[in-house]
């Protein structure tokens, strides 16, 4: 008799929830799955860990290589401290391996629906933002040079002091930021949106499109730049050319739909799905969600139409 898949187990009582949790944890620690997880951590850690000279004994290397990953996938043990440091950086950077977290979903080709409002942030670390809640005096520095001097002064603090701990945390955040940017551009994960001054909203938009099954769809709230900026043009063109774009509804924030966002900022609802025969629908300069239903504000554009607009 075939066992019931873990995700299909009932959750109608605390006992059932506990049993489902137990089964899920057991599944996650299976040898084969654990090998995949460690290999994935090693791959990501290769982008984030400081690059040090490889010792003569390659088995004691502290930077992951392709050989380490393949060895672990084959069930061969890898240098323990290397695994340990890769898992430390995993926790700091919060790796998330989608196929390992949702194996049943990806076995079927992806999610039926993916929706969300991802962060709109530059991947590059902003010093003022980092220190705003941690050391406001640095954020209020009159010039960038003064700010840099104040940051360097933290480095001179005694080890174990709060100032030195803050500097070390800053260095970790800076490395993660720089490595994340390299990964987005060169890691092969984001071939369409990992360009220029990478922004997380563009990466998430491409991720959502990749996570859906061939028959699935998604919706995301992102800046209107997803359709108009040069760095996101390849991704948006793929949605249009592949006829996956259903609708783009662009808003001005004049009515403060998002209270903490500047009133002139433009964002949009981007909806996509499987290829379909009709052209995508567009609407711009909306100021309230009620205007979404006003058909006179909506029009269609084909890939050819959009190409002519860009040429003009």
CATH number among 3.40.630.30, 3.40.50.150, 1.10.10.10, 3.10.20.30, domain 114-120+199-311: 3.40.50.150
**What is the tally of helices (H) and strands (E) in the chain?**
14, 6
- pLDDT of res. 312: 56
- Rounded Cα gap, residues 82 and 74, in angstroms: 17
Q: How do the domains of the chain map onto residue ranges?
A: 6-107, 114-120+199-311, 127-186
- pLDDT of res. 172: 87
Please list, in sequence order, all residues whose beta carbon lies within 8 angstroms of the beta carbon of residue 143, skipping any fewer than 6 positions away. Answer: none
Instruction: Specify whether the CB–CB gap between 251 and 257 falls below 8 A.
Output: yes
Task: Quote the tokens at residue 282.
Answer: 């567009």
Is the per-residue pLDDT at 2 higher than 60? no
SS (H, E, C) 239-252: HHHCCCEEEEEEEE
Beta bridge partners of 179: none
What digits encode the pLDDT tens for the residues 55-89?
A: 556 567 888 989 999 999 888 888 889 999 999 99
Which of these, 251, 264, 301, lies nearest to 281 by C-alpha position?
Answer: 301
SS (H, E, C) 190-248: CCCCCCCCCEHHHHHHHHHHHHEEEEEEEEEEEECHHHHCHHHHHHHHHHHHCCCEEEE
Confidence of residue 48 (pLDDT cuts 50, 70, 90): confident
What digits encode the pLDDT tens for the residues 94-113?
A: 999 999 888 889 989 999 99
pTM assigned to the model: 0.82
What digits encode the pLDDT tens for the residues 210-229?
A: 999 999 999 999 999 999 99
């Amino acid at each position: 008799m075939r066992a019931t898949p873990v995700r299909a187990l009932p959750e109608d009582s605390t006992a059932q929830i506990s049993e489902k949790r137990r089964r899920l944890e057991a599944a996650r620690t299976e040898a084969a799955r654990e090998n995949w997880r460690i290999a994935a951590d090693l791959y990501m850690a290769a982008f984030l860990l400081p690059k040090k000279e490889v010792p003569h004994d390659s088995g004691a290397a502290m930077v992951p290589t392709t050989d380490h990953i393949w060895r672990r996938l084959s069930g061969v043990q890898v240098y323990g401290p290397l695994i340990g440091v890769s898992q430390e950086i995993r926790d700091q950077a919060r790796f998330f391996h989608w196929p390992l977290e949702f194996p049943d979903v990806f076995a079927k080709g992806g999610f039926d629906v993916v929706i969300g409002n991802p962060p709109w942030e530059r991947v590059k670390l902003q010093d003022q933002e980092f220190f705003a809640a941690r050391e406001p005096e640095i954020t209020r520095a009159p010039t960038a040079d003064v700010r840099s001097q104040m940051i360097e002064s933290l480095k001179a603090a005694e080890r174990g002091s709060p100032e030195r701990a803050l500097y070390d945390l800053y260095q970790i955040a800076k490395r993660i930021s720089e490595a994340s940017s390299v990964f987005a551009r060169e890691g092969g994960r984001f071939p369409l949106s990992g360009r220029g001054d990478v922004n997380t909203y563009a990466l998430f938009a491409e991720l959502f499109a990749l996570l859906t099954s061939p028959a699935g769809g998604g919706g995301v709230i992102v800046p209107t730049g997803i359709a108009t900026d040069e760095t996101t043009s390849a991704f948006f063109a793929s949605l249009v050319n592949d006829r996956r774009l259903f609708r783009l509804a662009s808003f001005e924030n004049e009515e403060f739909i998002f209270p903490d966002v500047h009133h002139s900022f433009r964002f949009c609802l981007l909806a996509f799905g499987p290829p379909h025969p009709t052209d995508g629908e567009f609407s711009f300069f909306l100021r309230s969600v009620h205007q979404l239903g006003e058909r006179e504000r909506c029009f269609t554009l084909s890939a050819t139409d959009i190409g002519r607009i860009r040429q003009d």
